[in-house]
Structure 1
Amino acid sequence: MSFLDHIIRFTGPFNLTGLTAVTVPCGFAKEIPVGMQIVGPAFGEGKILNVADVFEKSYPELKQKPVVLGR
Structure 2
Amino acid sequence: MKKELEQIILHSLAKKYQNQSDDKLRVLATILSWMIYGASLDWKENSSKSSEEYLEETSLSIRQLLKNEIS
TM-score, length basis structure 2: 0.32
Bigger Rg over Cα: 1
Q: Determine which structure has the larger strand proportion and give its number.
A: 1
Q: Determine which structure has the larger helix proportion and give its number.
A: 2
TM-score, length basis structure 1: 0.32
